Amino acid sequence: MEERPCAVLLKFPGTNCDGETARALETVGFVTEVVQISELTPEKLVGVRLVVLSGGFSYGDYVMAGRLARLVTEQKVGETLKEFRDNGGYLLGICNGFQILTQLDLLPAGSLVENTSGRFQCQWVTLKNRAPQSPFLSQLPESFEFPIAHAEGRLVTREAGEAAGYVASGAAALTYATDVNGSFEQIAGLQDETGRVFGLMPHPERFLRQEDHYDPDWSSGKDGGETHGSGYYLFRSLYDSVTSTSE
């Protein structure tokens, strides 16, 4: 029997999407361990193929979102996550996890700041897949829906041109179909140059099954009565990529 790849879900005080994110990872086949930041050591990542930072409010996010999580992570394990990436590891950051990966400089430079609405926004959005080659997005169609739930999801760069550059280079792997929160270039997710680090504000783990969609008839008309939600295919893409590349 083939060995299932291991994933570590890193949890900070205030991380709160760990349960459903771990469920999503397990559903597609990852052996998933939730690791509390207080117990994180470089050794914890030995043999691990994927590190996931899930949604929530690490340390309350009272300072800039993800800032304290970055400081604590660096203090605990220094450059370990960068080495993990350099050694072929995959990193996924969802919502607060995206904010933290950005803070950790594991993704192209940018900041996730307060939505232009000034509000927390819990709603479903249509997204455009701009990186069909990405190990995270390969099985997703050109356009699909995920839910969002954030107050600080507006991606800004120091110069507006930088964000446009991300679109041109393909770093902006995921964009909103409409202006949802004021993100430059409507960017919803970024990948790094290796393609193995990906962060996004929307929540794929909340759309694993057809019945998670707000419209009970969402899947009618789709081939053979789709039972998976779009989010499933993000995790499935990732699983297939991880298992098809050697460590």
Residue ranges in contact with another protein by CB under 8 A: 13-14, 16-17, 19-20, 23-24, 36, 38-39, 55-57, 59-60, 119-124, 147, 149, 203, 205-206, 208, 211-212, 214-217
Q: Which CB atom, from 38 or from 41, has the smaller least distance to another protein?
A: 38
Catalytic residue chosen out of the listed positions 6, 122, 203, 213: 203
Other Cβ atoms closer than 10 A to 1: 3
Give the pair of three-digit tokens for residue 36: 């509390």
Task: Provide the minimum distance between the beta carbon of 66 and another protein in the complex, in angstroms, as a whole number.
Answer: 14
Q: Which CB atom, from 59 or from 166, has the smaller least distance to another protein?
A: 59
> Where are the extended beta strands (E) located within the chain?
6-11, 31-36, 50-53, 90-94, 111-113, 121-129, 143-150, 154-156, 174-176, 187-191, 197-200
Q: Which CB atom, from 85 or from 150, has the smaller least distance to another protein?
A: 150
Q: Which CB atom, from 216 or from 224, has the smaller least distance to another protein?
A: 216
Task: Provide the minimum distance between the beta carbon of 77 and another protein in the complex, in angstroms, as a whole number.
Answer: 16
Catalytic residue chosen out of the listed positions 145, 152, 185, 205: 205
Catalytic residue chosen out of the listed positions 95, 145, 150, 152: 95
How far is residue 147's CA from residue 20's CA, in Å, rounded to a whole number?
14
How far is residue 111's CA from residue 225's CA, in Å, rounded to a whole number?
40
Which is it for the CA torsion 244, 211, 53, 172, positive or negative? positive
Active site annotation includes 228: no
Per this entry, what is the length of the chain?
Answer: 247
Residue 6 forms beta bridges with which residues? Answer: 31
Active site annotation includes 205: yes
Q: Which CB atom, from 124 or from 177, has the smaller least distance to another protein?
A: 124
Task: Provide the minimum distance between the beta carbon of 127 and another protein in the complex, in angstroms, as a whole number.
Answer: 15
For residues 42 and 77, the answer to whether their CB atoms sit within 8 Å is yes
Task: Provide the minimum distance between the beta carbon of 72 and another protein in the complex, in angstroms, as a whole number.
Answer: 10
Task: Provide the minimum distance between the beta carbon of 38 and another protein in the complex, in angstroms, as a whole number.
Answer: 6
Angle, CA 240 vertex, CA 187 and CA 132 arms, to 5° = 35
Active site annotation includes 203: yes
Give the pair of three-digit tokens for residue 109: 């430079």
Query: Which residues does the annotation mark as catalytic?
Result: 95, 203, 205
